[in-house]
Amino acid sequence: MSGTVLAPQATIGVLGGGQLGRMLALAAARLGFKCHIFAPSPDSPAFDVVHRVSCADYNDTEALDRFAADVDVVTYEFENVPAETATFLAARVPVLPDPQILATTQDRLAEKLFVRQLDIPTALFAAVAQPAELTAAIERIGLPAVLKTRRYGYDGKGQATIKNDTDLQDAWREVGGQPCILEAFVPFEREVSVVAARGQDGAVECFDVTENEHREHILKTSRVPAALSQFAVHEARRIAEAIAQKFAYVGVLAVEMFVLPGGGEILVNEIAPRVHNSGHWTLDGASVSQFEQHIRAVAGWPLAKPIRRGRVEMINLLGSEVEDLQRWLTVPGAAVHVYGKAAIRPGRKMGHVTRVFADE
């Protein structure tokens, strides 16, 4: 719903209680808003920074009713919120971005078809509903290829790479035997993302293109600006803006992209309908953060024009790396963020460090 303009003191409801919700709530507080976090886990890191929380399942309609009555607008920090939850809430209170967008971005097949419809390139892909369809899909796509579950995949979960010698039964089992898409393996030169915001007035502001390095499918380091030609930078931003406009999106989204060898061609990998790990650098490295931009958009406020403060590097503290905290605390210029998660698990995002350097 557009046209909602919130005054300071209004309450923004956030579905999801992870670090993204926590950083959204901190940004909202700076602008004078209150946040009410709805999340199923009592250990949700976002609960620690707000006054109002609902700790309930996403299908608890009584809790959702109470949440809707307490908030002026609802947004998400987590895209796997059940579509029915968002639709239930949308009948009671404005939900931004529109719940319809969740349906597209929760399904890798629908998402890829949406991107292709905009004439934006992606890797070749084919739907694979059952194991019997895998051989025909491989004939079309070629090898190597990546088998991905259509739903609930993140940080490389629900993915299997298929090479010439891969046992197809094993690959199907590895992704959990669910409807999938098969994607051509992209021999990319680099991975980049564009974090973009669209306001209720239709204005779009993109943050500078970010270069991302993954370790075991999990984001480890982001660097800005990405080492791209002017042409590729322009193309990456054009793609993100086209997606935001086509969705009539309100809020922040991230578009993950592959840059092909030679640097000229860009393929879209994935759209995240939320603030994104590759935009964390904006907290310390830009005049406005992705979190504030999202809050401004859902509140019906004008977006800020982001100005980068220099060359920026963001390093995720994954799992036990958070134990390096003492070392990071003494590094000159390092900004340390800790998410307050009790349990350390391998690969779990526990915090991040940002370093801003003078532009070369």
Interface with ligand AMP by CB under 6 A: which residues? 123, 146, 153, 156, 183, 185-186, 191, 214, 217, 256, 269-270
CB-wise, 212 or 282, nearer to ligand AMP?
Answer: 212
Q: Which residues contact 167 (CB under 8 A, 6 or more apart)?
A: none
CB-wise, 25 or 257, nearer to ligand AMP?
Answer: 257
**Whose CA is closest to 290, among 202, 206, 203, 200?**
206
Cα–Cα dist 192/196, whole Å: 13
Residue 154 Cβ vs ligand AMP, minimum distance, rounded to whole Å? 6
CB-wise, 270 or 292, nearer to ligand AMP?
Answer: 270
- Asked if residues 106 and 83 have their Cβ atoms less than 8 Å apart, the reply is yes
Shortest Cβ contact with ligand AMP: which residue? 186
Cα–Cα dist 346/250, whole Å: 34
Lay out the sheet containing 159-162: strands in order across. 125-128, 180-184, 145-149, 159-162
3-state class (DSSP) for residue 178: coil
CB-wise, 187 or 332, nearer to ligand AMP?
Answer: 187
CB-wise, 186 or 204, nearer to ligand AMP?
Answer: 186
CB-wise, 54 or 290, nearer to ligand AMP?
Answer: 290
Cα–Cα dist 223/213, whole Å: 8
Residue 214 Cβ vs ligand AMP, minimum distance, rounded to whole Å? 5
- Asked if residues 291 and 33 have their Cβ atoms less than 8 Å apart, the reply is no
Cα–Cα dist 227/175, whole Å: 34
Residue 284 Cβ vs ligand AMP, minimum distance, rounded to whole Å? 24
Residue 77 Cβ vs ligand AMP, minimum distance, rounded to whole Å? 18
Strand partners, 149: 180
Residue 21 Cβ vs ligand AMP, minimum distance, rounded to whole Å? 21
Residue 251 Cβ vs ligand AMP, minimum distance, rounded to whole Å? 20
Question: Phi/psi zone of residue 300: left (φ > 0), alpha (ψ -120 to 50 degrees), beta?
Answer: left
